[in-house]
Amino acid sequence: MDREQMAIRTSYFSIAGNTGLAIIKAVAGILGNSYALIADAIESTTDIFSSLLVLLGLRYAQRPADENHPYGHGKIEPLITFGVVAFLVFSATVIAHESIDHILTPHQVPEPWTLLVLGGIILWKEVSYRIVMRRSRLTDSTVLAADAWHHRSDAITSVMAFIGITIALLGGPGYESADDWAALGASGIILYNAYLIFRPALGEIMDEHVYDDLIEAVRTSALTVDGILGTEKCFVRKSGMRYYIDLHALVNGDLTVTQGHDLAHRLKDRLLEDFPSVEEVLIHIEPA
């Protein structure tokens, strides 16, 4: 399975999981008198839409380069990530607002069985986080990493709900709003996770220099090509799941233009062979 197809299948996995959990949380929250679970359901509902956004972005990014987009359509990924972050901020805001309303309004203590529901949810969301994050690393997909953090933030809100409901049940009268305070705390954690997702996506859009390991590997690989005496500038930028490299290579200054041209092509072929995630390499020949 290629990287693009792996990413798309992973987004389907997220959509299915979030849909099922949103229903379970909403039903359990309403029947079990737990706003923390209802808040969890709200976040899972926004997760569905953000995962759909991820799927659309991944499919669009697969489009080949054209006259208007010579570097392909991969930059849609960090743009979609910004949309995922917006969903996170929205869900955190809704949860915070509703939590404060419930804190100010007397209500019943959550049912004890809601803890069993939360325990299963926490386990599933953490497993989902690990699956999606591992695949984001395999595919170098920024937007899949954002989707993975959505799963992790959902697990965190569920942990906070578990703690809040436990306190409410053990504390008895006067502690009915403990799960609401837990939901309020979870909203802050979600906002922090939104920043963690936003920052690398911004760096990708701005072509930030964050690929030192790849640059070092490219320089090492270049020296294995006969005739390449060294390397100077090496710039790497990312578009979707693919990398674009600009490399200045040092060669014998007595080579003819044709010889230098042929050597540049051999170097490019070697780099494309050694680094499957690299889409294009631009070689500039420098006399040593």
Q: How far apart are CA 267 and CA 255, in angstroms?
A: 15
* Cβ within 8 Å of residue 44, ≥6 positions away: 18, 21, 22, 25, 154
Q: Are residues 143 and 230 in the same domain?
A: no
Q: How far apart are CA 85 and CA 79, in angstroms?
A: 10
Q: Are residues 142 and 34 in the same domain?
A: yes
Q: Are residues 201 and 239 in the same domain?
A: no
Structural domain ending residue among the three candidates 205, 226, 247 = 205
Q: Are residues 149 and 98 in the same domain?
A: yes
Q: How far apart are CA 235 and CA 45, in angstroms?
A: 40
Q: Are residues 130 and 247 in the same domain?
A: no
Structural domain ending residue among the three candidates 205, 237, 258 = 205
Q: Are residues 227 and 147 in the same domain?
A: no
Q: Are residues 260 and 197 in the same domain?
A: no
Q: Are residues 20 and 143 in the same domain?
A: yes
Q: Are residues 195 and 242 in the same domain?
A: no
Residue 72 belongs to domain with CATH number: 1.20.1510.10
Residue 220: other Cβ atoms inside 10 A: 11
Structural domain total, the chain: 2
Q: How far apart are CA 253 and CA 55, in angstroms?
A: 50
Question: What's the helix, strand, coil split of the chain in %, to 5?
Answer: 70, 10, 20
Q: How far apart are CA 270 and CA 242, in angstroms?
A: 17
Structural domain ending residue among the three candidates 183, 205, 227 = 205
What pLDDT score does 1 carry? Answer: 54
Q: Print the domain residue range for 105.
A: 3-205
- Helices and strands (DSSP H and E) totals, the chain: 8, 3
Digitized pLDDT (tens) for each residue of the chain, 288 residues in all: 577 788 888 888 988 988 988 899 889 888 887 776 787 787 778 778 878 888 888 888 888 888 888 888 888 888 888 888 888 888 888 888 878 887 887 667 778 888 898 899 899 989 999 999 999 888 888 788 878 887 887 788 788 878 888 888 888 777 878 878 887 888 888 888 888 888 888 888 888 888 899 999 999 999 999 999 999 999 999 888 889 999 999 999 999 999 999 999 999 999 999 999 899 999 999 998
What pLDDT score does 55 carry? Answer: 85
Q: Are residues 15 and 74 in the same domain?
A: yes
